[in-house]
Amino acid sequence: MSRGNIRMVCKRTSAGAYLHALRAPPELSPPHSSTNIAEARRRTRLQIYLFLIHNPVLNLQVQNTKEQSKATSYSKANMSAFTAEHKSHSFEGSLLPWAEPSWHTRPSPYYNDSHRHLRDVVRKWVVDNVDTDPWEAAGEVPNSIYLKCAADGLLVPISFGRSIPAEYADYPIIGGIKAAEWDGFHDFVLWDELYRGGAISSIFVGLTVGAPPLNKYAGSALKAEMLPQILKGEKRICLAITEPAAGSDVRNIGTTAERQGDVYVVNGEKKWITNGIFSDYFSTFALTAVRTGGPGAGGISMLLINRHLPGIKCRTIEIGAGKLSATTYITFEDVRVPVHYLIGQENSGFRLIMSNFNHERLWIVFQALRGARTCLEDAMKWAQKREVFGTVLIEQPVVRHKFGLCAKRVEGLQAWTEQVVYELDCLSEEEGNRLLGGVTALLKVEAGMVGKFVADECVKIMGGLGLTKTGQGARIEAISRGVIGLIVPGGSEDVMIDLGVREALKLSRAQQKSAAKL
């Protein structure tokens, strides 16, 4: 097994396994003959090979290196398409520094013609169909726009993230992209362009986090009943986990679901539920009274609850990010939910919740990146024309320093995000959750920090315009006001940082233990 092959195999393992695989051969006792050296190297390569294919912690299969090389290389065809587009200036995005991801104007190993096509189609769709000002004033999004999203192929990829199940391949997908072709970078591009439309992204939050658990864990009959209605835009769904006394501490949610014959009787409260007031169904996680385990994680179940059942009350919570998020306070009083609306097994809900967080946190990262780039774009426009002390702002070294600090953090976040998206594409969902759960938690923390830092710096560059809800600073004002919405959801910073470190230590110790057995 050549060193090149080892490197290719290790691309799908953790950093710890990679370093283990590339360690130097053990020192040899004299005489150091070429035969002994060759034999030692052969034994080392064999140990590496056995470690990679039998490691019980990673449980990853050696991949065909030719396929991996093909998948990760930037082909001549892609380069030709990139060069032609760049020379013709057909791309309609901003050409200001850092306003767009670098792959829009420079080569990248991650994106191909399909991703560029999706970018152009979604950007045009947003321009042609989105005008959020009247929606914000009315406090709601017309149902017609939701139906159009379904007809134009937005709801299917929004519902499933980086991988669209084959059984939904016949539903429309924006850009005419095939379900089998859709990957994590299509998902990244889709959300990046939707976030350019501002508040339009808010109406999809419930679908983004509510549909995946339904698809993955509901029984076939329940999926057949619900998902077609959701994907056609006829029904809406959201995810209700957070409570007045339980946020990041999901283990201690207090809403109860007591089994009484063929129904669960639900009592409790949910708070800060995005899109709740718009939704027909709550994908609600409840602590059930008929659990097999005791208090905590072992007693949580997942129920799909029709919002229109007797005993449910909803009211809107006004938050700084605006009305279109439809943030909702929900009260359940003796709500009778048929038992066949249980998702997964009774008392297995905590595992289902945790498996959904990688997807949710990555989606928050996408939002933070586009928000930061939007701030940089508008601030750069202003800095190039605003005159102060006899020259434009951008000629002031201190202003350029601010842009430089913002740029390095945004581009660093972009690179880390693309690496995580790539790794998730290479791994099964189970492997991704196990190996990258902590990484995604830390990535989400960094995204919130970068988003806030860039918004704050751009407000300073804009001055009073950065605090004004209209005019040239309107987008920066809105983003700076709503950036806290990237930090709180999906797990608080302190909890996520601790989770990231604990997961890294757990993987490292397991790998060390496995390596010691060689």
- The pLDDT tens digits for 418-440 are 999 999 999 999 999 999 999 99
Domain 110-231 and domain 237-347 have a common topology: no
Q: Which of 363, 429, 88, 35 is nearest to 208 (CA)?
A: 363
Where are the chain's structural domains?
Answer: 3-68, 110-231, 237-347, 353-516
Query: Please, which pLDDT band fits residue 445 given cuts at 50, 70 and 90?
Result: very high
Topology annotation, domain 110-231: Butyryl-Coa Dehydrogenase, subunit A; domain 1 (1.10.540)
User: Quick one: 33 exposed, middle or buried, by C-beta within 10 A (0-12, 13-18, 19+)?
Assistant: exposed
* pLDDT tens digits, one per residue of 117-152: 999 999 999 999 988 778 777 777 788 888 999 999
Kindly state the average pLDDT of the residues 459-475: 96
Retrieve residue 214's tokens: 């339904």
| 246/439: higher pLDDT | 439
Any idea which of 171-180, 344-353, 371-380, 429-438 has the lowest mean pLDDT?
Answer: 344-353
Q: Which among 506, 436, 495 has a CA at the least distance from the CA of 250?
A: 495
Task: Report the sign of the C-alpha dihedral through residues 427, 428, 434, 439, in that order.
Answer: positive
Q: Say whether pLDDT at 65 is over 50.
A: no
Q: CA-to-CA distance for 283 and 353, rounded, in angstroms?
A: 11
Name the superfamily (CATH) of residues 237-347.
Butyryl-CoA Dehydrogenase, subunit A, domain 2 (2.40.110.10)
The pLDDT of residue 361 is 95
pLDDT at 201: 67
Closest CA to 174 of 165, 189, 184, 234: 189
**Range in 77-86, 94-103, 139-148 the model is least confident about:** 77-86
Rounded to 10 deg, the angle between the 76-88 and 113-129 helix axes is 40
Which of the pair, 477 or 90, is modelled with greater confidence?
477
Q: Comparing C-alpha atoms, which of 297, 289, 285 is closest to residue 260?
A: 289
pLDDT at 45 exceeding the cut of 90: no
User: Longest C-alpha distance within the chain, in Å?
Assistant: 85
Closest CA to 229 of 245, 241, 211, 255: 211
Report the SS3 class of residue 385.
Answer: coil
Which residue did the predictor score with more confidence, 241 or 115? 115
* Structural tokens at position 333: 């009083």
Q: How far apart are CA 377 and CA 105, in angstroms?
A: 16
Specify the pTM: 0.81
CATH class of 353-516: mainly alpha
Q: Which of 231, 97, 98 is nearest to 155 (CA)?
A: 231
Residue 463, pLDDT score: 97
